Amino acid sequence: MKKLTILLICVWAMMLAFTFSSSAQTVFALQNGSRTQFYTTLSTAISNIQDGDTLYLPGKPLDGDYTFAKKVTIIGAGYDPDSAAATGITKITGRVYFAKNSKGSSITGVRTEGRVYVRDSLITITRSNLESLEIQNGSNPIGFVYVGDCIIRNNIEGANDVVTNVLIERCILNGNLGGGNKTNNLVIKNCVLTYNGNYFLYSISNIIYQNSIILNTNNYMFTAGSSSLTFTNNLFVRPAFSNNTYVMTGNIFGVPESDIFVDSANGNYHIKPTCTQALTLATDGKEVGIYGTDNPFLVPTFAPRFISINNAESTVNGKLSVKMTVEARNR
């Protein structure tokens, strides 16, 4: 009963935020248990966040840079126009900072036009489309960062030797890992790495690539300055390569990109049934890439999702008719 009550409060907060925001007025909902507060600007909502709050973002462009310095769960309407057709996508036009004291925060269902900066531990980023990502706070240790079911359009940078235990899983990575990433135990698992430019593995160390599909065929500075990399059960388009500091097991090389995906040019990274070696290559016996694991890649957020919203244009007897269809997900 308690879970049902919380779910109803969640749906109610989202309904008000997304319904008002589909009209001329934009509102931002902060919810914690049975307490829900509404604000007309995002900066005001952020300044009123208390540790443990949930912040609901409407499906529209949100201009500016935003810094979070409390533990907060951020839920957007989604980044994909198809899955967020009823509400519109949540798009932050600037940068997002998870600053010191934001430990334990998470964000889902958001597109960013600026970089996302992770500067504290236990940060979770899921089902979002990021311009780029940086994980570092100088000499301050950062650990246990999770990025899952995301698209990262440019580089992942900054992870230094005091960043530990980062998992990037089921993501489409269109950039590379910028030089200087010398983190301890950064795992890239069940991802599709599309970057085909120079410096793909340049000046990085202590990174594990597992169950992923790696499309890069560019040889210029491909592995220069890199050491202590581990490649396990990946599918490569390029020919085999080696380095005496690398650990390489169970990889397959030299598979043409045209043989792998159903329609990668249009963002469809499902594996062709004819690419049989990729369908069981992963360490768990499942397929490599974003549709492997027990929980394949998903775009919609775990939060209740609005499939349709139909607001009447005027009131009848002082009442406004609002009809909506909501879908709840298990994950």
Q: What is the pLDDT of residues 231-272, one digit of tens each?
A: 999 999 999 998 889 999 999 999 999 999 999 999 999 999
Strand partners, 264: none
Beta-bridge partner residues of 142: 163
pTM over 0.75: yes
How big, in percent rounded to 5, are the helix, strand and coil portions of the chain? 10, 35, 55
The sign one gets for the Cα dihedral 242, 243, 249, 255 is negative
Give the integer Cα–Cα distance in Å for 189 and 186.
Answer: 10
N-term to C-term CA, the chain: 20
Residue 272 identity: K
For residue range 24-72, list pLDDT tens digits in order.
568 999 999 889 999 999 999 999 999 999 999 999 999 999 999 999 9
User: Which residues is 207 bridged to in the sheet?
Assistant: 186
Number of residues in the chain: 331
CA 79 to chain centre: 10
Neighbour count for residue 76 (Cβ, 10 Å)? 27
Burial of 285 (0-12, 13-18, 19+ CB in 10 A): exposed
On the question of pLDDT at 1 being above 80, the answer is: no
**Mean of pLDDT values over 305-319:** 55
pLDDT exceeds 60 at position 323: no
Cβ distance 327 to 301 under 8 Å?
no
Q: Which of 127, 147, 119, 281 is nearest to 214 (CA)?
A: 281
